[in-house]
Amino acid sequence: MLRLVAGALALTLVVGLTVQAQATQRLRDLVDRSWRGTYDLVVSAPGAAPSSEALSAPLDTAAWTSSADRLSTADLDRIRAVSGVEVAAPLGDLGVRSVANQDAVMIGYPADGSVEGPRAFDLEARVHTDDGLGRRPVLGMDTTLIGYFSDDGPIEDARPLLEDQAVCDPAPPEPGPCTDVELPTLALGPRGRTPEPAQREVPAGTYWAAPWAEPDPQGNRMVVVDAAAEATLLDLGGNTAAADAFRVLAQSSPAGSLSAVVDRLSGAATEEARALVEAKDRLPAHLQILADTTGRSAESLSAVPMLATSVGSAPLSLEVRAKPYREPATRLRIEQAPVDPRDPTGPRGMLGLPTWELPTGGLATQEDVSTSDVSGRFGGLGLGVTVIPVPGLTTGQDPVLSYDSPRLSLVQETRTLTRPTTADGNLAEAAGVETASGTLPGRPEVAVARALPASTSRESAYYAATDDGRRFGTGDAPLLVSVGTLVPEPDTDLAGIAPLLTDVELPTTLVADPDGTPREVRLQPASTGFGLANQMPAAYVDAASAATLGLERPFSTVRVRVADVGEDLTPENLATIDAVAQQLKDAGFAVTTVAASSLSPRQFQVVSYRFDSTDGEAHTGPLGTVRQLGPELAASQRVSAAVGSAGTAQAMTVTALLTGLAGLCILAAARPRRRRAGVLALQGWTRGATVRRHLKEDAPTLMVLALTLAALTAAGATTARIGVEPPLVAVGLGATAVLAAAIVTTAVTAARPTTADTREHATRSTGPARPARTAAALLTRWTARTWPRLLTGAAYRAAVAVGAGLLVAVVLQARREAGTSLLAGAAVAQDLPFRLALGALAAVVGMILLVQLHRVEGDTVRAEAIVLLLAGWSRAKLMVRHLPTLAVEAAVAGLVAGLVLVLLTPAVDLPPVVGAAGLGLLLTLLITLFTRRAQLARAWKGQPA
């Protein structure tokens, strides 16, 4: 039996060390792979330094782009001049109000001749968003539309017809009607009134498209970056697509004439850059249109390149309802009017425009509805245009629009942004902003003159505009032109990385209502761009264009990557980073070390939020508890220490537990040896001869333990290389040595028979012992015979229960001490299979040792059973006889284990720990019952049923 016990323990030590070495190496690889993101330090103005309380919790990344104390371009140069700074990439929020030369959403009318005659429709257009809590209104417009196209298909240019006297006599510019020319026409105006001809009509495949009205001013949050430095950081982070987009922004910057910007885009790979290059010959006409509206020369318009984003914008849907008029519209005449100066393809001159009359028959009862996704288009800054066909009038093909008419936005106002918080860290609405108005939060409301009456709503803004920036007039306003679209990765794996804020959309989640009711609602960005969940801006502009936008101190923070830092998390690498941080502090900057950080949930209260819905009353009130992700500083060291220590502690617990159980087996095996020693002594064996016999029997067992000692000694010499903690090796060596010493000691002590054994053999030679005649005598005799077995069983079960509870406690403690960061979650999840493997190994070996313990007791159990069966006991009664003993063992073991676990385990972990202990105790009892049944079955063979 001892050979099996020693072999099981040796196997446990070897396998346990191997498992723990693998777990340690995997943890080290995870931490080394994720401890360092693309930058190491966040540098800000001294007044923007986070407090010590803020540093002890996950940081608010919004403060990195929207601090009140800002940095200038000269400050950025000073940071880059510090020795050891490899990359310095700035960030700064910017609010921009602008107006585009054309809408991003147009209405389309079939131009394939499928609709006969001039038709009139009343349209209701409603733009909605969904903030995660429900649908809410953004903009509503009601209009009347008249469309008319010939059966021959769209007429892209009607001037040749108007100038043909055979068709139109007299031809313009002479006065006179021209009612026979079928012009491609869309007319839009307030609902119920005869509309005026639409402006800037464009062909769109099988449709003719026109804007709903003059574009509304739009407000957007942008971020000022150094595009070249940003591309470097993105390359280091493996996001090459985003890096390429920022390289295009750097290539096209700084601000300058539109032709100069387009010339710099030669060879750029973005779709917008290619479109601008292809439309280069038509750009002067577009610029002239803008110059005419601003009263400036085309050469004086300065273009600011920007990089639009495709995520982070509000989810927007456009619902259009169309009711046709019962009768066709009537074209009264074609009036002569100037060619639209905003049409870059038309020569100067006169053009006939139709005048319509609405039918008097009223509207039909039929109503058609369409819903379109206009996210990223409505109010967006990119070049793309979406055409929405009139509901019920489709050609069976999708509208097609190219970038031939690039959208340019004229800047009206720029302001840097801050995100104020209350003294207790809660977040309150900084301002209420009207949707679709272009108003910057904290600035005076913008009065929007609209050709079509419109309804708007209001949204909460959590950014406030500062005085840094400019309000431009028509004589000096720059243009915004998109040179690319950034496509960040939503919810990417960021286990050990402080976010760049330009490569990923971080979630904002409502986790509890104001009354504490749990929720799990992901909040969506606001349509105004300044909401609670607007972590991604609408666009990025290069720092080289900051002066053109009127910014003196454009940067909130600068992310710094330190040079000459290795890949692994070592004290030397951390010291290199700390040295550069100290230099920056000495230069007068505030510095936060974010190397070795990891994103972690941060919760805060939103005490004011604008609620608005399509079917409820608008009001402002508390939103509840919101969760965002922010960097937890020094998370890598915390996770490494917590998970690594837990693994070592678990392995040491398994080793100590199984050593103790093996020791109980050795002690149990000593009693049969002593009985045999008594027999040998009566036969004349000396004690020395008996000892030598025992040692000879134990020689293979001691050899196994010796080999185990040698293996552990070798492992101890290479702990750093194989990833095993020295204390674990020391415990293994100690356990093996103690077990070997116990075997030798037992071999020596078991050679001396006990007085009881001698007396028993003497009694057998002289005659039977006096029978017990009272209950007390029976109990005394039963106790004397069974107490060693009872104590051994209770001790074994208590050890198993305590061990099972401690194994669970170690895992729970590691999870708690590792924190809530994404790295902690990844490390704990990665380490869990190793903990389960060690726990399973301990359970299997522990049960094997328990079976061996029962085998030692087997002869005694069978002998007693045979006597009782001969005395007339039934098999069932014989099984029940063992239940009181097991109950006493379980009660003693449960009491001892409970006391130990209560003393060693935090209260928060007690329920699962006690549950694991109870499961271990139950398992030992089941194994004992099955073993006892097998032992009694041997006694039943040949006996009466």
pLDDT tens-digit map of 270-301: 888 888 888 777 777 777 767 776 777 777 78
Task: Identify whether residues 15 and 119 lie together within a single domain.
Answer: no
pLDDT higher than 50, residue 626: yes
Task: Identify whether residues 126 and 72 lie together within a single domain.
Answer: no
d(CA 921, CA 799): 9
What confidence score (pLDDT) does residue 574 get? 93
371 found inside a domain: yes
**pTM for the full model?**
0.79
Task: Identify whether residues 693 and 574 lie together within a single domain.
Answer: no
Q: What is the 3-state secondary structure (H, E, C) of 371-422?
A: EEECCCCCCCCCCCCEEEECCCCCCCCCCCCCCCCCCCEEEEEEEEEECCCC
Task: Identify whether residues 478 and 331 lie together within a single domain.
Answer: no
Phi, psi at 523, each rounded to 5°: -80, 145
Going by C-beta distance under 8 Å and a sequence separation of 6 or more, which residues neighbour residue 392? 322, 324, 366, 368
d(CA 162, CA 350): 10
Q: Convert the pLDDT of each residue in 684-736 to its tens digit.
A: 777 788 778 877 877 777 787 788 778 777 776 766 666 667 777 787 788 78
pLDDT higher than 70, residue 157: no
Decide which of 613, 633, 653 is a domain's last residue: 633
Domain residue limits at 648: 2-32+637-940
pLDDT higher than 50, residue 180: no
Decide which of 603, 618, 633 is a domain's last residue: 633
Task: Identify whether residues 347 and 470 lie together within a single domain.
Answer: no
244 contacts 228 by C-beta, under 8 angstroms = no
266 found inside a domain: no
Decide which of 633, 657, 691 is a domain's last residue: 633
Task: Identify whether residues 583 and 621 lie together within a single domain.
Answer: yes
pLDDT higher than 90, residue 510: yes
DSSP labels, 61-102: THHHH--SS-B-HHHHHHHHTSTTEEEEEEEEEEEEEEEESS
838 found inside a domain: yes
Task: Identify whether residues 316 and 420 lie together within a single domain.
Answer: no
335 found inside a domain: yes
Task: Identify whether residues 920 and 896 lie together within a single domain.
Answer: yes
pLDDT band at residue 740 using 50, 70 and 90 as cut-offs: confident
232 found inside a domain: no
Report the amino acid identity of residue 605.
Answer: Q
Half-sphere exposure of 692 (CA within 13 A, CB side): 5
pLDDT band at residue 163 using 50, 70 and 90 as cut-offs: low
Q: Convert the pLDDT of each residue in 841-883 to its tens digit.
A: 877 877 777 777 667 666 677 777 777 777 777 777 777 777 7
304 found inside a domain: no
260 found inside a domain: no
pLDDT higher than 70, residue 261: yes
Task: Identify whether residues 38 and 134 lie together within a single domain.
Answer: no
Task: Identify whether residues 63 and 114 lie together within a single domain.
Answer: no
pLDDT higher than 70, residue 170: no
- Tell me the helices (H) and strands (E) count for the chain, helix number first: 21, 34
259 found inside a domain: no
Q: Convert the pLDDT of each residue in 769-790 to its tens digit.
A: 555 555 455 445 555 556 566 6
565 vs 705, higher pLDDT: 565
Task: Identify whether residues 623 and 730 lie together within a single domain.
Answer: no
Our count of domains for the chain comes to: 3
Task: Identify whether residues 57 and 22 lie together within a single domain.
Answer: no
